[in-house]
Chains A and B, each alone.
Chain A
């Protein structure tokens, strides 16, 4: 049985129907309120003097409300200290369910990078001080360059992974990484734990999360980095991504990030940028769909 046939069988079995739909509807209908919701009294039925009093009363209430708001605003912290709840836009339907205790408030702080604020990598929400120790120095082979189009064409998938272990084989110099897979973009069937071997001097760090372009090494089932001649895309704990300027598809609305040069072979430390994870996800979805 093919995968599609199996999925079809599962779907057929899981699509139960209500035993008696009409009986259930009758039950629902019987519980609906008999009266229609109240509507506002039409103004045309009021006497003119009543209308005038209503308008004056409404205006007086409005002025009281405005005065009250101004008084409260003077007592509140300044705009820079607005609470997280106040700063979220109430445009998502999930916000509506807040009073029912259904869902947390939608965080509409958005994925756009901070504007006009030079960031340092050390300020980002990533674990710091988790470098993998190596004793055999690594360097980039001559003549290798990063090219976004080539990487996209050669990659079988992009894997969002967390580094759980790393050690260097001092004989070969290669670093062996153990990665816990968080998400996969593309059709590749990756295991939940992945081992990657790489000679890149742009080391991955323990407990950090990255979005790695991967392909299967020629003639084997082992996975390898499609490109290891540049830093990998890194995901922060607050759903941003740090990437180098070679990923020009991600450059729109990004913010420069100041990084320390990690080694003499680090040619990207002054070309790193920050954008939202959603922007990167949208980019990968277009890549998956072939619409880039």
Chain B
């Protein structure tokens, strides 16, 4: 979705037109879901948060300033909602849940089919590198957008990403996952 298309959708929302929200949902629902999943590591929570996100967007869309990057704006909202959710839940780390058990079963099947389980090897990286990798690969943000969201210099973001990918590849090779 271009900035112009997003601004048009926001204008529709401001007029009470639900099709504006639907347009943004069609473009970004999966990305928002991935951002939440990367933070809360729980599929149902991620879905619930995605639902809450679009409700929040309905209420605050009019506060978006045209001419500024909408993707980093949406990402910032999602990240902050995820942080609030984790704080309310009183946990910073994912706990064992039925979803986790299902993931374990899936992992066994995926080993047979050759999946790498990027999430597993990603978890050994420092928190900031994990987030940069997720924002670039899962949320499809550019390095510049990530730098804006994380308030870090662009050079730091791109360098940390390269370092992280090199380490991930090495871990995947050592684990014979490639």
Contacts and interface: CB of A to CB of B under 8 A. Distances in A.
A173 to B, nearest CB: 32
Given A24-B47, A100-B80, A103-B80, A31 B169 contact: no
Contacts of A94: 73, 76
A184 interface: yes
Interface stretch (A8-16, A66-74, A132-140, A194-202): A8-16
Contacts of A32: 18, 21, 55, 58
A15 B30 contact: yes
Interface string B126-154: 00000001100110000000000000011
A102 interface: yes
B178 A14 contact: no
Given A13-B116, A14-B118, A281 B29 contact: no
Interface string A38-50: 0000000000000
A142 interface: no
A238 interface: no
Nearest to B110: A13
Most chain B CB atoms below 10 A, which of A14, A37, A97, A190: A14
Interface string A18-54: 1101001101110111001100000000000000000
Contacts of B111: none
Given A32-B55, A160-B155, A96 B60 contact: yes
A209 to B, nearest CB: 12
A92 B151 CA distance: 13
B43 to A, nearest CB: 7
Contacts of B29: 18, 21, 24-25
Interface in B54-74: 54-55, 58, 60, 63-65, 68, 73
Contacts of B118: 9-10, 13-14
A212 to B, nearest CB: 12
A184 B153 contact: no
Contact of B153 (A6, A183, A192): A183
A32 B18 CA distance: 9
A281 B157 CA distance: 13
A12 B143 CA distance: 19
Given A3-B165, A24-B47, A29 B18 contact: yes
Contact of A285 (B51, B154, B178): B154
A93 to B, nearest CB: 5
Contacts, number: 130
B33 A18 contact: yes
Interface string B72-109: 01001100100000000000000000000000000000
B125 interface: no
Contacts of B137: 7, 10-11, 14-15
B143 to A, nearest CB: 10
A31 B51 contact: yes
A192 B166 CA distance: 13
Contact of A184 (B55, B155, B169): B155
A55 interface: no
A13 B117 contact: yes
A213 to B, nearest CB: 13
Given A28-B25, A28-B55, A6 B138 contact: no
A91 B162 contact: no
A102 B80 contact: yes
Contacts of A3: 165-166, 169
A272 interface: no
Highest count of chain A CB atoms <10 Å: which of B47, B133, B155:
B155
16 contacts: A6-B165, A6-B178, A13-B116, A24-B29, A25-B29, A28-B51, A37-B15, A92-B65, A93-B73, A102-B77, A102-B80, A160-B153, A160-B156, A183-B159, A281-B153, A285-B154
Top 6 A-B pairs, shortest CB-CB distance:
A36-B16, A183-B155, A183-B156, A184-B159, A102-B80, A14-B138
Given A3-B165, A9-B116, A190-B159, 13 more contacts: A6-B169, A6-B172, A11-B137, A13-B117, A13-B119, A14-B34, A15-B30, A18-B50, A19-B43, A28-B21, A28-B25, A93-B64, A183-B153
